[in-house]
Structure 1
Amino acid sequence: MNNKTIASKTITNDPNLSMKYRKLLFLMAALILAPAALTAQDSESSDDDNAYAKMIEGAEVSEGFFTFYQKDGKLLMAVSEDQLDSDFLLNYQIARGIGSSGLYGGTMLNIFEAELVALRKQNDRIMLVNKPHRYNAEAGTPQARAVDLTYGESILETAKVEATNEDGMMLIDVHSWFVGDLSNISQRIQFALSSRPGQPGRASLDRDRSFVEMVESFPENSNVQAMLTFRNQERSAPRTVPDSRFVPVSIFYSIAKLPEEPMKPRMADDRLGYFMTVHKDFTETQEEFFQRFVNRWRLECDGPRDAEGLCEPKEPIVYYLENTIPERYRQPMMEGVEAWGDAFEEAGFKNAIRAEMLPDSASAGDIRYATLRWNVSDQPGYGAIGPSVVDPRTGEILDADMLYEANMFLGQVNTFRNFVEPQEAINEIYNVTAEELELMKMGVKTESFFTEMGTQTNLVRTALMANGLLEAGAPMPDEFVDQATRWVTMHEVGHTLGLRHNFRSSTDTPVNRLHDTSFTGPRGVFSSVMDYPSPNIAPNGEENGHFYNTGVGSYDRWVISYGYTPDDDDAEEIARRAAEPGHAYGSDEDARGSAAIDPNVNVFSLSADPLAWGRQRADLIRGMLPVLPDIALEDDMPYYEVTDLFSSAFFQYARALAPSVKYIGGQYQHRDHIGDPNGRMPFEPVPLEKQREALNTIVDYAFAENAIRLPQDVYQKFGANRWSHWGNSNTYSGRIDFPLHQTLLGVQSSLLSQLFNPVRLQRVRDTEVKFGAENTVTIPELMDTVTEAIWSEAWNSPGSNIGSNRRDLQRAHLDAVIGLVTDAPNGTPADARSVARLVLQDLHERLERRLAPPAFDFDTYTRAHLVESKERIERALEAGLSLEN
């Protein structure tokens, strides 16, 4: 012990000293000891600075929103005290996928709703926390305290503070954050590799084969891209993976700044179609719990309006085309972007939107640049997609990166080669799963969109060849390619402006005005580019108008004026114009699934009369099928050209018939509110005559004896694709020759299944009560009409021989009706089962009479079929009676 310590301890412990003297001695001791203490603190601070400097010395630096240092296998992120507890966005995107199985480069993993995250410091560690943002209450209220107590934060990652400099800047190693499963991509990988449908496969992240590929920082965001390798324990992988044991996927992480001043939100309205940011607000002053904000860009006037009521925006919306886009498509894409300027003028803005090429000095990863990008996947996954990044507090769109697949555009120019199952044209509308529908509601496209665009183009190609406007084997005309490119660009840009699909917009165009360009020019072939249209092909003998919209439609101008007008009161009045002509709206949940109720809300149809348009399109196709070889084949061309065109044409034939099903027990649905000008009731019945017209359309074009006929000499020219290599299928559903019976029956069976769907049968009964049985096609009328059409050869005496496809259809009909009697699907009304039993009894009696002497001299096929059918009915009636008892 030194003398200073002895003196201090001895003097201060002397009880005889006064308090004042003790304080003086304490002060003297502190002055003596202070230099040593200060020297120690300076040394500690200096050591920290030295450690900080040493850790970043020689590192590769990326300065910006967050600053990163790459060195010695570490990824160091500098975090200031100011950045702690501050909210920012974290978004995940597949930078490089495998070109198949839903893993496509450029697709966002958290569409529209990036993670709201913050950095928290706990002792010597910094934690990345995911904050709940869907639930809130007015600040300072008891409800706000309850929300804080109820909804906690998820800790996504943690890292130790490695060093701190004199400015309080901390270094943490975040390499494992990004070379890890922060995005939860492993779940998608597992399902992509699974050999068991619906079950995850076995795959795990191999960190030794994973690394950071790229780090970049900009003023408003920082990005990290990591190449992740997943070790595959399944037996196979998509062919696009070079080595099936090791599956590579690159993940692009974007950390983005939130606007310092949140944008004033625009409340959503159910009469118009916007993507929404939705909060649940527990403040009692709210009219309801949910607060719904439209997703939109921040657009504000930069000064007063001019004489026409327009103003220039402070910051226009600019979309940049990446130089990966082929030059052939750049001009129509730019036109597709800038076509939206007309809509923004209705909202009160001029020069609000423009398109430019992305400067070479700029990066698509910079959140300040919204981009259009090109994708070259092996197996098409979506055709085109338009996701965006949104501020979860207000719905403000902060960034958008649209993707366009090369496969779809190649299909627009040259013949679409994928074999399609025509029955899928019906099934993918009515048999959609809840999971698929949720994705569609967010604007996510599936492979079916690519297939649709390909078969549509083939149909246009066939029609042009049939009319002598295109030579066999020639590429599609520039006019068509430009219109298709412009439309798909307008559609995807619309998504990034906040707009949902609108599958009712085609009904704003009368069927007799479809090819009147004076009408479709200003109004559109369909009133919204957010529709999924069918290309507008004129019936034989008529001059063709526009294939697709050349600009945005009347609905598009209306919906943009609602979302982007600066004045909230104006927006409220704009929303009340839902009943005006040109403002028809219905989205994904209205168009798809067995619950779809409105025959005017359809994907891939046209006109205010989808039924009349469907017959026109079906007649066009029926007229082309017998001459396919004549118009499609030239010298030295392979015969499979005919097969490809038939497959596409028949797919579109089924598409044309699909809306007819919705008329049976259907209701027209409207979104008008009480008091809206010319407001309509929420549901209006489809008139009985229209329902019967729809049922007769299905009978005439699918179930009647002569509904689908293909001359033998045409069928004989259906050639086989004999290219045998990866990326090409040289069979049709496993067969070298074309499966004609299977293809025809597939469409017929799908229509039959939808007519007898339990939900549809329920709806028919409900409409009988709701609007009167005399105003709807009843279950007995539905079943009797279908049965008589399908069994026409045996319906009346003496009967006639039955062809092979007809026998297949009759067996499918028996399967359906017997199923209603013996094993009715859940939800089937009891009345439907009773009527089905009566139908079987009636059919049994007719078959007995046809087979009783003196019977018609049926051929062996027909007689065997009728005998078997009669016996099947007998067994079904006995089984059904046993089940009932």
Structure 2
Amino acid sequence: MKRIRFWFALTLWFLVGLLMVLFLFPLTLQAQLTPPWQISRTQSQSFEDLVQGKREKEGLFRLYEGAGKLYLEIQPEQLNRDYLLITSLASGIGEDRLVAGFPIRSFLFRLRRVNNQIQFVLPNLNFRVSQDPAVERSLQQSFSDSVLQVLPIAATHPTRNSLLVDFTRLLMSQDDVSGLGNYLSPHYTIDADKSYLNQIKAFPENIELNVVYGFSSGSRGTLPIPSIPDARSFNLGVHYSISQLPQDNRYVPRLADDRVGYFINTYQDLGDTRSRDPVVRYIKRWRLEPQDPLAVSSPPVKPIVFWLENTIPVEYREAVREGVLAWNKAFAKAGFQDAIVVKQMPDDATWDPADVRYNTVRWSSTSSSGILGIGPSQMNPLTGEILAADIVINGNVVRYLQDQYQNLSGLHHGLEDSLFTEDWCRQGLGFQQYWGQSTEGWSEEREQEKVSALEHLMTDYDLCYGFGALEQANMGMVGMTLLGDVIPRQAAREQYINQFLRFLVAHEIGHALGLRHNFHGSTLLKPEELNNLDVTHDKGLVSSMMDYVGVNLAPAGTPQGDFFPVVVGPYDCWAIEYGYKHSGALVSAAERRFLDEIASQSSRPELAYATDEDLFGFQDPNVNAFDLSGDVLTFTEWQLENSRRMWQQLERRYPVAGDRYSDMRAKFNQIFSYYSRQVSFISNFIGGRSFNRDRPGRPNSRLPFQQVSLQQQREALNLLQKYVFSTEGFSFSSQLLNQLAPSRWPGVGRPVPLLNLDYPIHDNVLALQGRILRSLLSPQRLSRLRDQELKTPQEALSLPELYDTLQGGIWSEVLQAERSGINISSLRRSLQREHLQILGAMVLGRSSVPEDARTLAWYELRQLQGAINHVLGRFGGQLDAYTRAHLAETSDRITGLLSATFEQVSVDL
């Protein structure tokens, strides 16, 4: 009996223990797996307990702030509604794109309750349904929204039934909602101990939050950031604006047309089964309604108001104001009087420029950012209506120009030998021609691999101006100093700075109005009209402020006109008419005929349009960044001659007392860089063609593609021979070359530049010549020229003519030696070796050129070898040792190349 009782008790204790294990283990496991923020949840606390002692802020949402926490109270009717979140940098580090005022991202979001949580949801707006309820249900099943964060419901109000959530989690987590942490990862991560809520403001229609994120070095170590004391740590302030979308339905979205350059908002209408293209495209534009819809010209019901930030220096506020108001000329032609109004932000203003209720022009100081300006605008993603805009101008542009004028200092301190710094940097991203350089070697795959997340801002905002724009601005100062008979006075300097600043601001305001770049805008005038003030002040220097306009330096003997545009051009007026002219229609579809009548004028030359995607990977010689005039070849030749004159004047007039020789070197390289850009424009004519957006069947309609004429291509080749491949193009005295000393001064956060002390003239000249030559003989261009023979109704530039012209100019000392031998200079020998190397790679099959091009390379080398052997046999005794050795070695190398080709073909057979 005792044994039975023993086993019974043991079994009972075993069952009790098993039940305890089964009950407690999940709780223990849950405690181990649950994040700390969930363990410390205060669901047991009441609404009043959680908000007790915290500052209450009443607005779009009721906020409770205190002890490093921010609670958000969500009313039941605020669930599943659309709100707009805009994020921007409230404070930066003055480097790259981390500049105060710079946009980060904006999107529409909804707050959705799921069980005991609030989901922060980005609804999928890429697919919509206009009418059919059945398709609406299919849409919800087929495409997913994005849930960025999940916020536990901390408490429920006993009477309002509102929900309280800890909003700090959304703002302060490692995966911050702005995405800034992901952009800087893995080099830097958000350090929670160094991050904090800075400012919190609530208003009836919006809330404004400012968060300071402390970043510490991450898994891959630090990046070189000269503007901060220690690269292991820095702070970035992020401004969050949350606002509700317009509640009325009076705004009529305007349909886009690819003949007019607007940023667009797109979605696919799944309910549209009849259209060939079910994608709906609305342009981004402000809501501008006339007070008198029947009047030819009327003030708007609500003008577009821009506030000038109180950080703009007083002496430049008028220039900034004029840049903003320049667009009223275009709006006047679209039927609006004073559509844009400018106000000055008071010095004692209590509102933040990032407040979504204010459109501002901001002035941001930087250390080394190449961005001069950006004109982002924030829109309602459902309709394309622009709701807010903040223009950011890099205030250091004024300092750049002041320094340039006063002491001829260089732009790229410490990079004086990197003549093509900008080009080489951009090549890694596939953006060569974006800065006016050749796109040979560019590919869509390469571009997609290289472009970073912020680079895509160019699609949304058209990120503007880098070293190329600074080059143009600086070259204007150089031209004023070196091309004139006298040094310009202070008043002329200030006038120049104000003119450039007006143009810069007007360009960015154009973006804020919804306009994209127009790189065809510079082709409005003939070269001889560029310096006629009667023409440029009436018609405009260019057809569009939305181009990257090259500085207008007058040729010798011509009085200087405007350096940069001072009025909006005909394209600008036409584009504003398309976007803003009142139609009276109540729905978008009713505007189609009204809009088509405006857009059908696109074939007029002054309304030519080409934007960023036309610049990338498509070689149109009239679509460039920083060119000018409708005759690019003529204007470019003027600038090449101006460059030569500036080099000569640099040697004659400088240095003067108080200057440094490093100023000479920097100035020499600036002219060289400008020279390089001009010759790249010329090279675009070889195998070039234009692209038109005309619609078939319209009056004066053109074919989409038009090939560059043979006459222009031959003219371009002759110019390249004269200014790139000839000895005369780079003839500098030893006196000048021996004055080009580098700077040995360290800068802020920058050590003394580690450069060769003497100037590498051979390397720099060959860098320019080699880049142009390899571009002309690239596989892409040769394939294009071969196709052009079939696409040109008249005679086209053939591959044999290109090969013969280049070889005849590059090897002229050999091919034109009839009565005496000609010694070949060191610069020419380097160029000839480069040419031989390019043809040799074709012959050996190491270059993917068309087979006809490879055969022609073999033929050219064979002809060249015959000419070399003739010169050596007849004039060898008259040549110097350099030339004899160079020609003898070249002949031997050609022999090896030709024999290698023959053996390779034999094996294949």
Q: Closer, same or farther in 2 for the Cα pair 1:810/1:132, shift >3 Å?
A: same
| Match of residue 603, structure 2, among 575, 579, 602 | 579
Q: Could you say which residue in structure 2 is the equivalent of 1:588?
A: 612
Distance 1:708 1:834 in 2: 33
Q: Separation in 2 of the partners of 1:596 and 1:692?
A: 20
Equivalent residue for 2:299, pick from 308, 312, 328: 312
Question: Counterpart amino acid of 1:104?
Answer: V
Q: In the alignment, which residue of structure 2 is the partner of 1:832?
A: 853
Aligned to 1:434: 447
1:209 alignment partner, SS class: strand
Q: Residue in 1 aligned with 2:471? A: 455
Aligned residue runs from structure 1 range 613-762, under 5 A: 613-727=635-749, 731=753, 734-762=755-783
Residues 234-254 of structure 1, C-alpha deviation per residue, up to 9 Å, x if partnerless? Answer: 444322333333243332222
Paired residue secondary structure (1:658)? helix
Counterpart in the other structure of 1:219: 204
Of the candidates 352, 358, 366, which is equivalent to residue 369 of structure 1? 358
Q: Which residue of 2 aligns with 1:243?
A: 230
Match of 1:335 in 2: 322
Moved more, 243-252 or 330-339: 243-252
Partner AA of 1:85 in structure 2: N
Structure 2 Cα separation of the partners of residues 317 and 472 of structure 1: 39
Q: Secondary structure at the match of 1:127?
A: strand
Are the aligned partners of 2:462 and 2:511 in contact in 1 as well (CA < 8 Å)? Answer: no
Query: Which amino acid is the alignment partner of residue 590 of structure 1?
Result: D
Q: Which moved more, 1:320-329 or 1:739-748?
A: 739-748
Provide the rounded CA distance (Å) in 2 between the counterparts of 1:834 and 1:94. Answer: 57
Distance 1:440 1:531 in 2: 14
CA gap of 1:115–1:790, structure 2 versus 1, over 3 A, is same
Query: Structure 1 residue aligned with 2:463, among 439, 442, 445?
Result: 445
The CA RMSD measured in Å over matched residues stands at 2.4
2:191 is matched with 206
Residue matched to 1:169: 162
Q: How does 1:287-366 map to 2 (within 5 A)?
A: 287-306=276-295, 309-359=296-346, 360-366=349-355
Separation in structure 1 between the aligned mates of residue 862 and residue 648 of structure 2, nearest angstrom: 39
In the alignment, which of 784, 798, 806 is matched to residue 828 of structure 2? Answer: 806
Q: What is the CA–CA distance in structure 1 between the aligned matches of 2:371 and 2:47, rounded to whole Å? A: 47
- When residues 119 and 438 of structure 1 are mapped into structure 2, their CA distance, relative to the original with a 3 A threshold, is closer
Shift of 1:333: 0.6
**1:503 equivalenced with 2:523 (yes/no):** no
- The TM-score with structure 2 as length reference comes to 0.86
CA distance in 2, matches of 1:49, 1:566: 58
Aligned residues: 817
Deviation at 1:369, TM superposition (A): 0.8
Shift of 1:741: 1.6
Distance 1:160 1:810, change over 3 A: same
Match of 2:8 in 1: none
Please state if 1:71 is matched with 2:66: yes
Give the unaligned 5+ runs of structure 1. 1-46, 191-200
1:488-534 Cα deviation digits (max 9, x unpaired): 01000000000011111111111111111111111111110101111
Q: CA 1:379–1:79 in 2, change beyond 3 Å: closer, same or farther?
A: same
Name 2:508's counterpart in structure 1. Answer: 492
What displacement does 1:868 show? 2.8
Q: Shift of residue 842 of structure 1?
A: 1.8
For residue 164 of structure 2, what is the amino acid of its counterpart?
Answer: L
Distance in 2 of aligned mates of 1:535 and 1:314: 39
Cross-structure match for 1:28: none
Partner Cα distance (2:483, 2:684) in 1: 33
Instruction: Give yes or no for contact 2:226–2:750 (8 Å, CA) kept in 1.
Output: no
> In structure 2, what is the Cα distance between the partners aligned to 1:825 and 1:500?
38
Cα distance between partner residues in 2 of 1:775 and 1:424: 39
- Give the Å deviation of 1:823: 4.3
For 1:543, the equivalent position in structure 2 comes to: 559
User: What one-letter code is carried by the residue in structure 1 that aligns with 2:704?
Assistant: P
Q: Is the 8 A contact 2:876 2:884 kept in 1?
A: no
Deviation track 1:229-271 (CA, whole Å, cap 9, x = no partner) reads 3331444432233333324333222222111235311111111
- After superposition, the C-alpha distances for 1:584-611 in whole angstroms (9 at most, x for unaligned) are 211122224xx32321111111111001
Q: Is the 8 Å Cα contact of residues 520 and 549 (structure 1) preserved in structure 2?
A: yes
C-alpha deviation, 1:403, in angstroms: 0.8
Residue matched to 2:572: 556
| Residue 386 (structure 1) aligned with residue 371 (structure 2) | no
2:631 to 602, 609, 613: 609
Runs of 5+ consecutive residues of structure 2 not aligned to the other structure? 1-41, 405-409, 584-590
Question: How far apart in 1 are the matches of 2:241 and 2:262?
Answer: 25
Stretch deviating more after TM superposition (396-405 or 562-571): 562-571
Give 3-state SS (helix, strand or coil) of 1:810's partner: helix
CA deviation string 1:168-190 (max 9, x = no partner): 22210021211122222233213
**Aligned pair in 2 of structure 1 residues 302, 759: CA closer, same or farther (>3 Å)?**
same
For 1:221 and 1:799, the matched residues in 2 are separated by 82
Contact 1:408 1:450 in 2 (8 A): no
Q: Mapping of 1:21-36 within 5 angstroms?
A: none
The letter of the residue matching 1:350 is Q
CA contact (8 A) 1:49 1:164 kept: no
Distance (Å, rounded) in 1 between the aligned partners of 2:875 and 2:757: 44
| Cα separation, partners in 2 of 1:701 and 1:442, compared to 1, 3 Å | farther
1:785 aligned partner? 805
1:417 to 394, 411, 417: 411
Distance 1:883 1:390 in 2: 62
Contact 1:374/1:405, CA 8 A, preserved across alignment: yes
Check the 8 A contact 1:730/1:736 in 2, yes or no. Answer: no
Larger CA deviation: 583-592 vs 247-256: 247-256
Given that 2:517 and 2:612 are in contact with CA atoms closer than 8 Å, whether structure 1 keeps it comes out as yes
| Equivalent residue letter for 1:817 | L
Q: Distance in 1 between matches of 2:232 and 2:866?
A: 63
Counterpart CA distance in 2 for 1:322 and 1:882 is: 73
Q: Is the 8 A contact 2:96 2:369 kept in 1?
A: no
1:811-846 deviation digits (Å, cap 9, x = unpaired): 2222222222324445x3222222122222222222
Write the distance in 2 (CA, Å) between the matches of 1:606 and 1:704: 25
Q: Deviations over 1:373-418 (max 9, x none)?
A: 1111111231111111111111111111111112222122221431
Q: Deviation per CA, 1:336-362, whole angstroms, max 9, x where unpaired? A: 111101111121111111211124143
Report 1:135-146 matches (<5 A): 135-146=127-138
Find the counterpart in structure 1 of residue 76 from structure 2.
81
Distance verdict in 2 for CA 1:850–1:467, change over 3 Å:
closer
Query: Does 550-559 or 253-262 show the bigger shift?
Result: 253-262
CA distance in 1, matches of 2:633, 2:743: 36
Q: Please report how far the alpha carbon of residue 90 of structure 1 lies from its aligned counterpart in structure 2 after TM superposition.
A: 2.1
Asked whether the equivalents of residues 401 and 477 of structure 2 are also in contact (C-alpha less than 8 Å), the reply is no
Does the CA-based 8 Å contact 2:325-2:341 persist in structure 1? yes
Maintained 8 Å contact 2:574/2:607: yes
Aligned positions of 1:140-155 closer than 5 A: 140-155=132-147
Question: Per-residue CA shift, 1:174-232, capped at 9, x if unaligned?
Answer: 21211122222233213xxxxxxxxxx44433222222222222333223222223331
Matched with 1:794 is 814
In 1: Cα distance, 2:195 partner to 2:903 partner: 64
Per-residue CA deviation, residues 666-708 of structure 1 (Å, 9 max, x unaligned), is 2232211123332222222221111100111111110123222
SS at structure 2 position matched to 1:684 = strand
Select which of 836, 841, 848 maps to 2:862.
Answer: 841
Q: Which amino acid aligns with 1:258?
A: L
Conserved 8 A contact 2:377-2:461: no
CA distance in 2, matches of 1:880, 1:259: 72
Q: TM-score, normalised by structure 1?
A: 0.88
